[in-house]
Chain A
Amino acid sequence: MKKDIILAGVGGQGILSIAAIIGYAAVETGLYLKQAEVHGMSQRGGDVQSNLRLSDKPVASDLIPHGKADMILSVEPMESLRYLPFLSPEGWLVTNTKPFINIPNYPDEAAIMAEIKKLPRHVALDAETIAKDLGTVKAANIVMLGAASPFLGLEYGKLKDAIEFFFGRKGADLVELNLKALEAGRKFAEENKN
Chain B
Amino acid sequence: MQKQLLLGDEAIAQGAIDAGLSGIYAYPGTPSTEITQYVIDSKEAKEKGIVATWTANEKTSAEAALGMSYAGKRSMVCMKHVGLNVAADVFINSSITGANGGIIYVVADDPSMHSSQNEQDSRFYGKFAMMPILEPVDQQEAYDMVHYGFDLSEKFGIPVMLRITTRLAHSRAGVARKTSRGQNQLKLPENLKQFILLPAIARKQYKDLLNNQPHFEAAAENSPFNSYTDGKDKSMGIIACGLAHNYLMENYPDRNVPYPVLKVSQYPVPTKMVEKIYEECDSVLVLEEGYPLLEELLRGLLNKGKKVKGRLDGTVPRDGELNPVIVGAALGFDIPELREIPSLVANRPPSLCKGCSHIDSYYGLNEALEKYGKGRVFADIGCYTLGALAPYDAINTCVDMGASITMAKGAADAGLQPAVAVIGDSTFTHSGITGLLDAINDKSNITVMILDNATTGMTGGQPSSAFGKIEDICKGLGVEEDHIRVIKPLAKNHEENLKVIAEELEYQGVSVIIPRRECIQTLNKRMREKFKAKAKAEQAGK
A residues in contact (CB < 8 Å) with B = 10-11, 23-24, 27, 32-47, 51, 59-67, 78-79, 81-82, 84-87, 102-108, 111-112, 115
Select the residue from A36, A103, A106 with max chain B CB neighbours within 10 A. A36
Total contacting residues, chain B, CB less than 8 A: 50
Whether A61 contacts B340 by the Cβ 8 Å rule is no
Q: Whole-angstrom distance between the alpha carbons of A39 and B29 in the complex?
A: 11
Chain B residues 319 to 340 lying within 8 A of chain A, measured CB to CB, are 323-325, 328, 335-340
Q: Whole-angstrom distance between the alpha carbons of A104 and B336 in the complex?
A: 34
Whether B336 contacts A67 by the Cβ 8 Å rule is yes
A-B contact count (CB 8 A): 147
Taking CB atoms, residues of chain A closer than 8 Å to B351 are: 44-46, 102
Given A62-B246, A63-B167, A115-B344, verify A35-B350 contact (CB < 8 Å). Answer: no
Whether A65 contacts B328 by the Cβ 8 Å rule is yes
Chain B residues 339 to 354 lying within 8 A of chain A, measured CB to CB, are 339-342, 344-353
Taking CB atoms, residues of chain A closer than 8 Å to B336 are: 66-67
Q: Whole-angstrom distance between the alpha carbons of A27 and B460 in the complex?
A: 28
B residues in contact (CB < 8 Å) with A = 3, 5, 7, 30-31, 33-34, 114-115, 167-168, 170-174, 243, 246-247, 249-250, 255, 323-325, 328, 335-342, 344-353, 383, 386, 390, 458-460
Task: Find the A residue at minimum CB distance from B460.
Answer: A39
In angstroms, how far is the closest chain A Cβ from the Cβ of B174?
Answer: 7
Taking CB atoms, residues of chain A closer than 8 Å to B324 are: 61, 63-66
Q: List 7 A-B contacts (CB under 8 A).
A: A10-B348, A36-B170, A37-B171, A44-B353, A45-B351, A82-B341, A102-B348
Whether A85 contacts B340 by the Cβ 8 Å rule is yes
Whether A81 contacts B341 by the Cβ 8 Å rule is yes
Q: Whole-angstrom distance between the alpha carbons of A103 and B349 in the complex?
A: 9
In angstroms, how far is the closest chain A Cβ from the Cβ of B516?
Answer: 21
Taking CB atoms, residues of chain B closer than 8 Å to A39 are: 30-31, 33-34, 115, 170, 460
Q: Whole-angstrom distance between the alpha carbons of A36 and B324 in the complex?
A: 14
Whether B341 contacts A33 by the Cβ 8 Å rule is no
Taking CB atoms, residues of chain B closer than 8 Å to A32 are: 173-174
Q: Whole-angstrom distance between the alpha carbons of A1 and B342 in the complex?
A: 31
Whether B346 contacts A106 by the Cβ 8 Å rule is yes
Whether B172 contacts A44 by the Cβ 8 Å rule is no
In angstroms, how far is the closest chain A Cβ from the Cβ of B276?
Answer: 24
- New A-B pairs, 18, CB < 8 Å, besides A62-B167, A62-B171, A84-B340: A10-B348, A34-B173, A35-B5, A36-B167, A38-B114, A42-B114, A43-B350, A45-B348, A45-B350, A61-B246, A62-B243, A65-B328, A66-B325, A82-B341, A87-B339, A103-B347, A104-B390, A112-B344
